[in-house]
Amino acid sequence: MEDAKVLELSKRARSIAMRNHPSQAAEIAIDEHVLAGGNVVNEEQATTGVLNELIGFGPLSAYLSDDSIEEIWINKPNEIRFHRNGKNHFEQIDLDSEQLRRVVQKLLRHSGRRLDRSTPSVDASLVDGSRLHVVIPEVTKQHWAVNIRKFSKSIKSLADLSNQGVITDSQLEQLKSAVRLGKNILVSGATQAGKTTMMCAILAELEGMRLVSCEDTFEIYAPLEDWVALQTRPGSTEGANEVPLRQLVREALRMRPDRIAVGEVRGAEALDLLIALNSGIPGICTIHSNSASEAVRKMRTLPLLAGGNISEGFLNPTVDSVVDMVIHCQRNQDGSRTVSEIWHRD
């Protein structure tokens, strides 16, 4: 089999694999390849390649199963880039444009989300909780652009983050106290700063409480027994049947939560979150910003995107009364992540 790469598999082999007999299907595919005049240099390697094509994700399987890789991205066929141990890496792989399309469609099956010319971009959760983002032409210039942010299989608590040097002992006590007292918390930072990891570590402290989380794509994980996770739903090309983040926040208020968590506030849903927090239900959310003070400023301006009669005269005192703490996360040059600042309302 040329370079242990399966270019085409017979319908018979695929049918057998679908009946949960992948090993038998792999043997048939290799036998058919040899009968057709093909060559198999390494049978074990060839079998792995067939299985990845039949039931896995082709050449991406090895990268997806590597726990040391944090994020994977593909800009063009036959090239892969990934982030591991604080550094970006690049490798050539056997992954042409048609194979990439097939892999993406497999990855999307679990989410039920669509990707085509009428819907040229998609955010979706994978089975293991990783996040998939894909954009296709004509939104991209030529090739499919694929990003996969891997889901960390190690559940981190605030104590874990302290042991790893992400937060200091003093910050650990501040955060534990804020959770215990039901403070409203913003987790701010740039992309890849560790905002979601910090949020999940805080949520892990809510033992015995009822949590309702709202996000665009499932990323939040909380080791809680009483937890409802909500995810937005994109609408049709006409916008019908859409379930936006604003609606999820309003739904959460009707579900008797002890805490509300919003995966990322970046638009008009900030108004609904402020109203929820102002009703007395403690909450936590993430927000993109370059500092803690900027995060507070964004909470004063994002609700204006909701339109209507929203004014600064309403927003400023509301934000001042409900935002209790901002945890600002940063990613350092060596790839490590730390909390550089904790702001709290006097």
pLDDT score, position 105: 86
Please tell me the distance from the alpha carbon of residue 257 to that of residue 160, in angstroms, as a whole number: 26
How many domains in the chain? 3
177 with 296, same domain: the answer is yes
Please tell me the distance from the alpha carbon of residue 291 to that of residue 314, in angstroms, as a whole number: 24
42 with 68, same domain: the answer is no
Pairing of strands 325-331, 185-189: parallel
**Residue 135 belongs to domain with CATH number:** 3.30.450.90
Please tell me the distance from the alpha carbon of residue 156 to that of residue 150, in angstroms, as a whole number: 15
Please tell me the distance from the alpha carbon of residue 103 to that of residue 93, in angstroms, as a whole number: 14
237 with 93, same domain: the answer is no
Model confidence pLDDT, tens digit, residues 35-52 = 555 555 455 555 555 545
Please tell me the distance from the alpha carbon of residue 193 to that of residue 157, in angstroms, as a whole number: 17
Model confidence pLDDT, tens digit, residues 157-181 = 999 999 999 999 999 999 999 999 9
The dihedral through the CA atoms of 181, 187, 193, 194 has a sign that is positive
Per-residue pLDDT of the chain (346 residues; tens, 9 = 90+): 343 344 444 444 444 444 444 455 555 555 555 555 555 545 555 555 554 555 457 788 889 888 889 899 999 999 999 998 878 999 999 888 988 988 888 888 878 788 888 889 999 888 788 899 999 999 999 999 999 998 876 668 999 999 999 999 999 999 999 999 999 999 999 988 999 999 999 999 999 999 999 999 888 999 999 999 999 988 766 667 889 999 999 999 999 999 999 999 999 999 999 999 998 999 999 999 999 999 999 999 999 998 877 888 889 999 999 999 999 999 998 888 999 999 998 7
Using an 8 Å Cβ cutoff, are 300 and 321 in contact? no
Q: Which domain holds residue 300?
A: 158-344
pLDDT score, position 50: 54
51 with 95, same domain: the answer is no
222 with 264, same domain: the answer is yes
The residue from 11, 34, 55 where one domain ends is 55
163 with 257, same domain: the answer is yes
41 with 66, same domain: the answer is no
92 half-sphere exposure, CB direction, 13 A CA radius: 0
Please tell me the distance from the alpha carbon of residue 122 to that of residue 135, in angstroms, as a whole number: 7
Q: What percent of the chain has pLDDT over 70?
A: 82
123 with 196, same domain: the answer is no
DSSP 3-state assignment of 155?
Answer: coil
203 with 330, same domain: the answer is yes
Q: Is this model's pTM higher than 0.85 or not?
A: no
CB atoms inside a 10 Å sphere around CB 164: 12
105 with 38, same domain: the answer is no
pLDDT score, position 19: 44
DSSP 3-state assignment of 302?
Answer: helix
14 with 79, same domain: the answer is no
261 with 131, same domain: the answer is no
